[in-house]
Amino acid sequence: MKVMKFGGTSVGSPQRMQQVTKLITADTEKKIVVLSAVSGTTNALVEISSLLAKGDRIAAKQKIDTLEAQYQQFIKSLVITPTGINLAENIVKEHFEFLTIILRISYSEALNKDVLAQGELLSTKLFSAYLMEQGIAHKLLPALDFMTIDANDEPQVEAIRTRILSLLGQYPDATLFITQGFICRNAKGEVDNLKRGGSDYSASLIAAAVQASVCEIWTDISGMHNNDPRIVNKTIPIEQLSFDEAAELAYFGAKILHPASIWPAQQYNTPVKLLNTMEPEAKGTLISGQATSSGVKAIAAKDGITAINIKSSRMLLAYGFLRKVFEIFEKYKTPIDMITTSEVAVSVTIDSDASLPAIIKELEAFSTVVVDYNQTIICIVGNEIAATPKSIQQVFESLNEVNVRMVSYGGSAHNISILVAAELKKQVLQQLNSGLFGL
């Protein structure tokens, strides 16, 4: 059994859905196909939800109507038979009626998650209608019946496995299953999600749960590139990455993969392939337990970082100081990404400011706190990079003249991270691209 995940652009038009159909019917291996929402839909739903949160029902209604008109257009070229048209029209009607009803209910966080879930529900049901019209046998597996997160918002593979195997067991002869990425149920049983870009995470969790032969992530680019192609002029695809390398790149900002999507694959040793729906013959990237070479492989950048410098008011970094600092971050469930220490102070970075005022207040009870907003972590990744002196030398030579706020080296054998002001990101990525890859 294999898992194939198609992102928003890959299902972004009726023609793309036809292309996806070709790819999923190219061989006879049993498969679970995980779909994202049609590209642009989740962004539109986020906007609708935030208008509702502000109480602006008129603007929300306008956005809902615009989105509905886009779906009406979409189904016109997706299905052609009376049965297919009827089915697709009913699907669109059902989900837009739901959004219209939500307009009348008072806004809550749970409602927000319900709104966001409509994208994946629409894309999978419409795709299923298309497959039905084409006479392609398949089963729609509702992700809300098996994908769950626990009270800490963490998915547990074993819990997912029990439920998905029981669902699959109901259709012993089926060879093609379609399901939603991104959406899940939380510990309270409410509709929730795996955060933006979460369909990759759904796919790798499902692949781990069913012990798939491979987890294929089909997107709009031919694999992981050595640098962010949206920012840097010249980038090249990487043929092979180890789980460790891919996990670091995903966590530190390579948008092609959800930050948490590698751990299930790594833990359950499921190979992951990054492939291009628009160019299926391209090699893409294979991510597996093997690392083929040492030294620098790729660079990623993570935005929206806040750096906090915490200086002990006792002028010496007494034992117990770090524990006190970390306990505060733990209390507010705020993960720390980078850490550097000196004799009297520690600097840490976080990617969520939600609890920052409360954290600062508690830190100020025993230290002086200075906060730098709008920072970017640049992460240079490669197998055993920390043991490759030439790589380190090249990294620092490439950073010539750059004002670096923090450096983290040695925490992982596969990563060197630096922190710079966000406005330097493009320049630094470009300089590293030339210095490390000669591009």
- Note whether 38 binds ligand ADP by CB under 6 A: no
Residue with tokens 């959800």: 258
Q: Which of 221, 232, 265, 399 binds ligand ADP (CB under 6 A)?
A: 221
Using CB under 6 A as the binding rule, the residues of this chain from 250 to 289 that contact ligand ADP are 254-256
Residue number of the CB atom closest to Mg ion: 197
Q: Which of 2, 3, 9, 251 binds ligand ADP (CB under 6 A)?
A: 9
Residue number of the CB atom closest to ligand ADP: 7
Please report how close the Cβ of residue 37 comes to ligand ADP at its closest, in angstroms. 9
Rounded Cα gap, residues 208 and 201, in angstroms: 11
Nearest CB to ligand ADP, comparing residues 68 and 220:
220
- Note whether 399 binds ligand ADP by CB under 6 A: no
- Note whether 45 binds ligand ADP by CB under 6 A: no
- Note whether 225 binds ligand ADP by CB under 6 A: yes
Using CB under 5 A as the binding rule, the residues of this chain from 324 to 383 that contact Mg ion are none
State the binding partner of 224 from ligand ADP, ligand ASP, Mg ion, none, CB within 5 to 8 A by kind. ligand ADP
State the binding partner of 230 from Mg ion, ligand ASP, ligand ADP, none, CB within 5 to 8 A by kind. ligand ADP
Q: Which of 119, 155, 197, 284 binds Mg ion (CB under 5 A)?
A: 197
Rounded Cα gap, residues 179 and 144, in angstroms: 9
Instruction: Give the range of 3-11, 45-53, 275-283, 340-348 binding Mg ion by CB under 5 A.
Output: 3-11
Nearest CB to ligand ADP, comparing residues 115 and 246:
246
Nearest CB to ligand ASP, comparing residues 197 and 223:
197
Nearest CB to ligand ASP, comparing residues 155 and 181:
181
Instruction: Give the range of 68-76, 169-177, 219-227, 362-370 binding ligand ADP by CB under 6 A.
Output: 219-227
- Note whether 40 binds ligand ADP by CB under 6 A: no
Please report how close the Cβ of residue 7 comes to Mg ion at its closest, in angstroms. 5
Please report how close the Cβ of residue 193 comes to ligand ASP at its closest, in angstroms. 7
Nearest CB to ligand ADP, comparing residues 183 and 363:
183
Nearest CB to Mg ion, comparing residues 197 and 223:
197
- Note whether 296 binds ligand ADP by CB under 6 A: no
Characterise 96 by phi-psi region: left (phi > 0), alpha (psi -120 to 50), beta (else): alpha
Rounded Cα gap, residues 244 and 267, in angstroms: 11
Three-class SS of the chain:
CEEEEECCHHHCCHHHHHHHHHHHCCCCCCEEEEECCCCCHHHHHHHHHHHHHCCCHHHHHHHHHHHHHHHHHHHHHHCCCHHHHHHHHHHHHHHHHHHHHHHHCCCCHHHHHHHHHHHHHHHHHHHHHHHHHCCCCCEEECHHHCCEECCCCCECHHHHHHHHHHHHHCCCCCCEEEEECCEEECCCCCEEECCCCCHHHHHHHHHHHCCCCCEEEEECCCCCECCCCCCCCCCCECCEEEHHHHHHHHHCCCCCCCCCCHHHHHHCCCCEEEEECCCCCCCCEEEECCCCCCCCCEEEEEEEEEEEEEEECCCCCCCCHHHHHHHHHHHCCCCEEEEEECCCEEEEEECCCCCHHHHHHHHCCCEEEEEEEEEEEEEEECCCHHHCHHHHHHHHHHCCCCCCCEEEECCCCCEEEEEEEHHHHHHHHHHHHHHHHCC
Q: Residue numbers of the site for ligand ASP (CB under 6 A)?
A: 7-8, 36-37, 42, 119, 181-182, 196-199
- Note whether 8 binds ligand ADP by CB under 6 A: yes
Nearest CB to ligand ASP, comparing residues 197 and 271:
197
- Note whether 337 binds ligand ADP by CB under 6 A: no
Nearest CB to ligand ASP, comparing residues 199 and 375:
199
Whether the CB-CB separation of 228 and 398 falls below 8 Å is answered with no
The footprint of ligand ADP (CB under 6 A) covers 7-10, 36, 197, 219-221, 224-225, 228-230, 254-256
